[in-house]
Chain A
């Protein structure tokens, strides 16, 4: 239960802003203190005034009883009436005064035009008592009624009623003043709290803005150290962290640039090497093999009865197969058609050969009206080649498709199959390395590569390469390597 309540309380308190919290603390304390002071002050004033009223009631009635003795004995009713009038006039708290003779007759009183007869029975005093006070409830509030015997009760009783009106008015005045004070102090408190909040939240808001900038990769903002307190320390720590982050980021970018440069070089070198080997194989080795085959055929024709004809035929077959293999090797290393006829022709030929070899039908759609820059053609060719290799090796696909199109300034390629698929996020050794290489090639040209694959749902590889790549943020020329 308590836990529930505290959870709920925290849910409310935690959800409001720091400004509201500080405001709440300030106002809460002011109101709590104010109410406490008010309750205490009212209680103290009320008890003091009650005691005073009771004492005053006794002293006034004792005084009246003493002064009334002679007028009563002399039957001076006018004098008695005047005496009661004086008592009333001189004591603002006295609501009424009257004298009762021993037979219970009211012989003088201060009510005009009658007398509340119920009042008579409300209080009485014995002849040997000093006084007797009773609390009477009236429509005008409480009345302390004190009865004092006159001349030991032989000639009557003096009765005085003291109203608590003055006490109530004092209490309401006090309450009004305290309430006004609370309101004024609260208003001041709100102003102070707003000022405090501003002082406290200003550096925090600056920190929030700076943090958002850092999150976006901008390490330049620095927050000022407003005050020499915890928040000031936080600002200093934040600045130190940002500097460290900026430094680390610089290093990372530098290394990234170097790595990319290296990768480009490796890939370029690899392509050049492949092209050279392919040309060598095509131009030199293939020519030699062709010459060998032509020579062997001449040998078969010229010596029809030669015993070694079958041997020559066998050798020509071997040479022919070797020539095919060299063609194939040369083709795979660096298809000449890519350099000579462009990406579309090269990929169509690759697909054709791949389909022939692996017996998987492939649907090829290539919508390119003109040749693309050489590096893009090479990259796309290699990426599609790797994708095809993966399909052949892992997918168990029934069919596959290749789409390449130009959309605005972007070349888009999609390779899909209907195979078993795989978990694109998991690291899976060689295949993962292959995917990494594909992505690397795309990213080197400022493009992206996305693999979507789910188990038994096939695999899609999306490639996007911009025709006019943005210059890399990292400037290799100005970078210094520590």
Chain B
């Protein structure tokens, strides 16, 4: 009888122990905490490239990786991509010399140039032009014909200081005699143009104003978007978002970069790098190409522009 109970006890014990794992990668003591090693610095000082959030951070990485690799190869030094959520944050970096070169939005350039001397480097040329527009887009199913029809609806802005995504539609609303707060039922910021297109395509927003370059690029990449959104209004031409340098960027670096970018279109190796950011070539541009925009920005009260 005792033996029988002993046997039962053993069975019980075996059944109580956990099922042995099939394969174990190794043993780690989770409470043996050690300081993390400090990151190794770059061998060479990297070229810091900021890209304003015209498109989402993820989209930016995908688009700019070939371009940055090209720079890395040509300049023979590491290139670091720096992204920020808003245009203003990028402007701050440029102002304090924390980036060497930046792709900024038109209105961000005007603000940077007029406040701390942001310098134009080159401008991209797309479809033979160095201008772009703001498109007012609505879902395909929408009956809206103009900004007037979007009254009381949900509207998506991109960035608080974006010309095409915030300043121009605000201008349109003001023309109708309202502030955006009065005119729209609700507004929100997507902080990038591709996200604004997505917000309209998915019906989260009833309308949005977006960068024509981003819109065309997005339609080219995903033709199904054309079935979901339509353009109901097109702004006059604005100066294209330029490539700028910080006032702290060394003149030699600025000159090297300018030479490299201007010659890029003639280099067969650059085709993929240019195509992925949707640029034909880089050209020189003068600050007065942005005067029309300055006039428009001047109409919009700063209190409205500031987020």
Contact = CB atoms under 8 A, between A and B. Distances in A.
B44 interface: no
Interface string B168-211: 00000000000000000000000000000000000000000000
A140 B31 CA distance: 9
A46 B19 contact: yes
Contact of A118 (B21, B22, B29): B29
Contact of A42 (B15, B24, B30): B15
A111 B28 CA distance: 14
B73 to A, nearest CB: 17
Interface string B9-31: 00110011011011111111111
Given A38-B12, A154-B65, A74 B30 contact: no
Main secondary structure of the interface of A (DSSP, over half): mixed
B34 A135 contact: no
B46 interface: no
Interface in A106-162: 106, 109, 111-119, 121-123, 134-140, 142-143, 145, 151, 154-155
Nearest to B18: A168
Contacts of B60: 73
B82 interface: yes
B30 A139 contact: yes
Interface string A71-103: 001111000000000000000000110000001
Contact of A95 (B4, B30, B65, B82): B30
B25 A136 contact: yes
Contact of A105 (B11, B27, B39): B39
B254 to A, nearest CB: 24
Interface residues of B, number: 38
B83 interface: yes
B49 to A, nearest CB: 13
A299 interface: no
A171 interface: yes
B33 A136 contact: no
Contact of B82 (A47, A50, A75): A75
B278 interface: no
B307 interface: no
A135 B23 contact: yes
A69 interface: yes
A43 interface: yes
B11 A35 contact: yes
A185 interface: no
Contact of A106 (B11, B18, B36): B36
Select the residue from A24, A135, A164 with max chain B CB neighbours within 10 A: A135
A115 B36 contact: yes
Interface in B71-85: 82-85
A325 B161 CA distance: 172
A123 B25 contact: yes
A96 B33 contact: no
A142 B15 contact: no
Contacts of A46: 18-19
A138 B29 contact: yes
Contacts of B1: 12, 24
A117 B82 contact: no
B260 interface: no
Contacts of A74: 57, 83-85
Contacts of A171: 18
Given A38-B12, A43-B19, A114-B34, A70 B57 contact: yes
A75 B83 contact: yes
Contacts of B32: 116, 118
A121 B39 CA distance: 17
A355 interface: no
B220 interface: no
Contacts of B304: none
Nearest to B23: A135
Nearest to A38: B15
B61 A145 contact: no
Contacts of A135: 21-25
A59 interface: no
Interface string B105-133: 00000000000000000000000000000
B26 A122 contact: yes
B300 interface: no
A175 interface: yes
A329 B86 CA distance: 160
Contacts of B299: none
Listed residue (B18, B23, B35, B56) with the most chain A CB atoms within 10 angstroms of its CB: B18
B12 A117 contact: no
A132 B34 CA distance: 25
B126 to A, nearest CB: 24
B19 A154 contact: no
Output the residue of B24, B36, B37, B85 with the most chain A CB within 10 A. Answer: B36
A38 B13 CA distance: 11
Residue among B25, B28, B60, B65 with most chain A CB within 10 A: B28
A24 B21 CA distance: 37
Contacts of A360: none
B15 A35 contact: yes
B27 A137 contact: yes
A47 B21 CA distance: 11
Nearest to B26: A122
Nearest to A154: B61
A50 to B, nearest CB: 8
Nearest to B20: A142
B27 A136 contact: yes
B87 to A, nearest CB: 13
B61 A151 contact: yes
21 contacts: A12-B1, A35-B15, A38-B12, A39-B15, A42-B16, A70-B56, A74-B83, A74-B84, A76-B85, A96-B30, A109-B36, A116-B28, A116-B29, A123-B25, A135-B21, A135-B22, A136-B26, A138-B27, A151-B58, A164-B18, A171-B18
Given A76-B85, A115-B33, 12 more contacts: A50-B19, A74-B57, A75-B83, A95-B30, A115-B34, A116-B31, A136-B25, A136-B26, A145-B25, A154-B61, A155-B61, A171-B18
Interface of B: 1, 4, 8, 11-12, 15-16, 18-19, 21-37, 39-40, 56-58, 60-61, 65, 82-85
